[in-house]
Structure 1
């Protein structure tokens, strides 16, 4: 069982040196070639005499270079910090400044985007990648840096910024063990989980700047498998990669899966090679799960976790999926080996079985803390437990059901309402593409339920018909009191719906912003 990234490469270069580590466009990168790139980049970084634990930022399409930088940083004790290209120049400036980044790798387009903010980052050195984002990003006469042989995985390795749906993003600092701790615990208990093997081929369609994408790519390397990189996600590119490389294992969020299965060319694409699907990030609609089973017929694993927990801590296995059981439709799964769950009430007491409270997670893969933010770290990391900010309950069989975000909860006349439940019902209507539910001020009831709905193209849907549909499945007090039809929902750079933007016009001038 591995403890560090260096151990992963050393082992596979020894055991299967010419096996493919990455499919990157038209290139096949063997484990030996990847190790050589890591060693060369590490030598270049070492020659710069950067301070220990320097933040090394990456702003470019997903490419083997990104993962070579990750491994090179781990080799030298630096911290890899991939950035979301969808962020604005000012947002990127905020993150680079907060991180006190020493070095930024970016493409020419990225440098042009940042041309007005780079002068304000006097201590940041920028290296422009070649047009093909070649692995050899800078030349050095230094000798390649050999892999470390030891280490317990406790050193800071990665810094990822939260999406900032409720405020300023925070830099989550993760140790190397975040890639290994949970899977090592599973192996120790003889739990095969997805059973990744060196003959597998993984689709790497989740971005490197997201913990899910980076973690999934590393799991492929741990197994000695090959990963097919998509520079940026598109449904067409994903379908092409699955067919071309005979992809056996896929990780996507439900929105990506919907786009793939809705792609017209998908009907002609051979997807028979797909044996396993890992998904998470948002609830899976029953209709989408039915479409996945009809088209792919593969084993499905739902994961739940956070950047702060080092990715997954909870999993719903294929045999635990019960889409036709209303009581189990919204479960996230059970705690994985090595991880623990508890539900905590507002006053700090632990909840009873079936009682709703905040989900707290204990994981050996958890973050070290938030970079330069001791107050936020203390508020989130309590005695080794990560406060998720999600509301949920655990049943008598240990299954976690998620209700909603703590900050999204609506209190109507003393009743607690979770928007996710209402959104799940609304999106079951055939004419609804998306829905977002918020609480708005109500002088009589405290808050009332308001829905924003995006209709499917070429459909007709009236408010009264949608509300009648909702009343068939929801208690009266949960049915929206008002509905606005909109062209789209506001989202942040990671694609999450910005409910604070929806709330803003209704809560402006209020003495309190939530229930």
Structure 2
């Protein structure tokens, strides 16, 4: 009887969509165009390859790769096998990757051969890790060759419960180490349902993917397949290549972070490129400049849809719809929209009570979209889900029509170019340098990235320091996206009455005159 009311989870939805679309084009990548039936067959062979190597329901599988079609095959196979997925960001450091692989209990790492040297070192650090390469590589087994040995079979969804963990998505941590957000089959199905119903899709969806398939690109895979869309996949984001692809393939939809929108607007070929096919531009990941958003609307039309969410409640807690982008109202263009009907949202004070209309309060969320908690971190889980709400850490105001505007963050977090960065992780690296007596990291306004990482350091008496050396140190240990854009050397860092670094006072130096403390 327990199966009588079992809902459709992401593997069920993927299988149903691929079967329904049959021989319609599904993916265009490089010089290849694959139908839904061909994608389904490839996924089947990868499922069998996984099983041949002992990867079945509940096994932890991680991916480290640039965009290539095999990522889609293995991503689908992870879903259908009931494995637990974890994506490693291509810009991440060796140190962080090793921590995530060990913390998540990953059994197999799927990787692009261009990462072979990096992966070889990961294999040394984690000798029990199975390495499977997308093609021949100096290390690991060729996953493409392994999958090619199997004959396609019918796809069968795994027998899973809604609260089973479908993925661990790692986000920065206030304690200096990333923490794994437990996505469930319940939450991922809710995410897909919300995206399909709330993102104002055009009748014909020709979607350009220029973000990592293993991250944001994967979130949109099933919603696109459910609509019979065709995906056009670029290896990475490069403004000129994106403009060319939109014109050549008559792209109707694309998902971008604000810094990508700025890069397109500022590209020398923007005005000469035919972008008339675009019908929906989905944007999110960080706050957008209202003046640049108005410029984009004036040049491209009312085709912008903002989505707002976080890893703990992925992709879409609220939306700002096309018709709600009012170009003559900059206050509206700073809004992250109104809550979608599929979530409960409240603005709460520190005592857990709803604030009065127009007053700032922490954005808190309930509903099937919300994570199960943080992997192996019960104390942080309890704090995040205190009182039966997900506490997002974003401080918002709501106007009389219900439009939300983020005015500050309770979390000590920086959002730069769509990346969530936690200062503690950067401070821990800089403080290793023998010349540094004290360090504090904050986000400062930046026209390109939204917010930029700023490090403020005190140098030990009798020592000197090259700030470029500190930036390189962070890049080495945390990756380029964590590296400070600038470093200020000061005599002292302001402290609170308790003697702790006063981040609020420090940020105030760089945010003077700003109407809101996010950018």
CA contact (8 A) 2:84 2:167 kept: yes
Cα distance in 2 for residues equivalent to 1:49 and 1:434: 44
CA contact (8 A) 1:355 1:393 kept: yes
Aligned position for 1:478: none
1:172 deviation in Å?
Answer: 1.4
1:287 deviation in Å?
Answer: 2.8
| Correspondence 1:429-444 to 2 at 5 A | none
Cα distance in 1 for residues equivalent to 2:218 and 2:492: 38
* CA-to-aligned-CA distance 1:224-248 (integer Å, 9 cap, x gap): 1011112111112211221222110
- Select 1:168's aligned residue among 177, 180, 196: 177
> Structure 1 residues 65 and 122 mapped into 2: Cα distance closer, same or farther (>3 Å)?
same
1:269 deviation in Å?
Answer: 1.7
Aligned position for 2:144: 136
CA contact (8 A) 1:77 1:155 kept: no
Question: In the alignment, does 2:72 pair up with 1:83?
Answer: no
Aligned position for 1:148: 156
Cα distance in 1 for residues equivalent to 2:408 and 2:480: 19
Cα distance in 2 for residues equivalent to 1:436 and 1:9: 38
Deviates more, 1:392-401 or 1:3-12: 3-12
Cα distance in 2 for residues equivalent to 1:509 and 1:193: 45
- Select 2:117's aligned residue among 89, 112, 116: 112
Aligned position for 1:290: 294
Question: In the alignment, does 2:108 pair up with 1:100?
Answer: no
Cα distance in 2 for residues equivalent to 1:341 and 1:159: 24
- Select 1:24's aligned residue among 22, 29, 50: 29
CA contact (8 A) 2:44 2:152 kept: yes
Cα distance in 2 for residues equivalent to 1:43 and 1:57: 17
1:509 deviation in Å?
Answer: 8.2
1:366 alignment partner, SS class: coil
Deviates more, 1:100-109 or 1:130-139: 130-139
* CA-to-aligned-CA distance 1:320-369 (integer Å, 9 cap, x gap): 22343254342111110111211121233222212212111123122222
1:200 deviation in Å?
Answer: 1.0
1:407 deviation in Å?
Answer: 3.6
CA contact (8 A) 1:175 1:365 kept: no
Question: In the alignment, does 2:351 pair up with 1:342?
Answer: no
Question: In the alignment, does 2:168 pair up with 1:159?
Answer: yes
> Structure 1 residues 317 and 495 mapped into 2: Cα distance closer, same or farther (>3 Å)?
farther
| Correspondence 1:445-460 to 2 at 5 A | none
- Select 1:370's aligned residue among 358, 367, 374: 374
RMSD: 3.6
Cα distance in 1 for residues equivalent to 2:489 and 2:81: 45
- Select 1:194's aligned residue among 200, 212, 219: 200
Aligned position for 1:413: none
- Select 1:307's aligned residue among 308, 311, 314: 311
Please report the TM-score for the alignment, with normalisation by the length of structure 2: 0.76
Question: In the alignment, does 2:243 pair up with 1:234?
Answer: no
> Structure 1 residues 383 and 230 mapped into 2: Cα distance closer, same or farther (>3 Å)?
farther
> Structure 1 residues 74 and 116 mapped into 2: Cα distance closer, same or farther (>3 Å)?
closer
CA contact (8 A) 1:6 1:147 kept: no
> Structure 1 residues 363 and 381 mapped into 2: Cα distance closer, same or farther (>3 Å)?
same
2:121 alignment partner, SS class: coil
1:332 alignment partner, SS class: coil
Please report the TM-score for the alignment, with normalisation by the length of structure 1: 0.77
CA contact (8 A) 2:43 2:76 kept: yes
Aligned position for 2:418: none
> Structure 1 residues 332 and 192 mapped into 2: Cα distance closer, same or farther (>3 Å)?
closer
Cα distance in 2 for residues equivalent to 1:112 and 1:505: 42
1:228 alignment partner, SS class: strand
Question: In the alignment, does 2:257 pair up with 1:249?
Answer: no
CA contact (8 A) 2:456 2:490 kept: no
1:306 deviation in Å?
Answer: 0.3
1:286 deviation in Å?
Answer: 2.7
> Structure 1 residues 205 and 503 mapped into 2: Cα distance closer, same or farther (>3 Å)?
farther
> Structure 1 residues 209 and 6 mapped into 2: Cα distance closer, same or farther (>3 Å)?
closer
> Structure 1 residues 250 and 341 mapped into 2: Cα distance closer, same or farther (>3 Å)?
same
- Select 2:189's aligned residue among 180, 192, 205: 180
* CA-to-aligned-CA distance 1:235-286 (integer Å, 9 cap, x gap): 1221122122211011101101111121112222211110011111222223
CA contact (8 A) 2:191 2:314 kept: no
* Runs of at least 5 residues in structure 2 that lack an aligned partner in the other structure: 1-5, 414-441, 458-470, 505-519
Aligned position for 1:275: 279
* Runs of at least 5 residues in structure 1 that lack an aligned partner in the other structure: 410-418, 442-486
CA contact (8 A) 2:250 2:277 kept: yes
1:313 deviation in Å?
Answer: 0.9
User: How many residues end up aligned between the 2 structures?
Assistant: 448
> Structure 1 residues 381 and 239 mapped into 2: Cα distance closer, same or farther (>3 Å)?
same
> Structure 1 residues 330 and 437 mapped into 2: Cα distance closer, same or farther (>3 Å)?
farther
Question: In the alignment, does 2:335 pair up with 1:331?
Answer: yes
CA contact (8 A) 1:56 1:101 kept: yes
> Structure 1 residues 98 and 347 mapped into 2: Cα distance closer, same or farther (>3 Å)?
same
2:131 alignment partner, SS class: strand
Aligned position for 1:479: none
| Correspondence 1:34-73 to 2 at 5 A | 34-50=39-55, 52-73=57-78
1:337 alignment partner, SS class: coil
| Correspondence 1:350-361 to 2 at 5 A | 350-361=354-365
1:130 deviation in Å?
Answer: 1.8
Cα distance in 2 for residues equivalent to 1:134 and 1:207: 22
1:507 deviation in Å?
Answer: 3.7
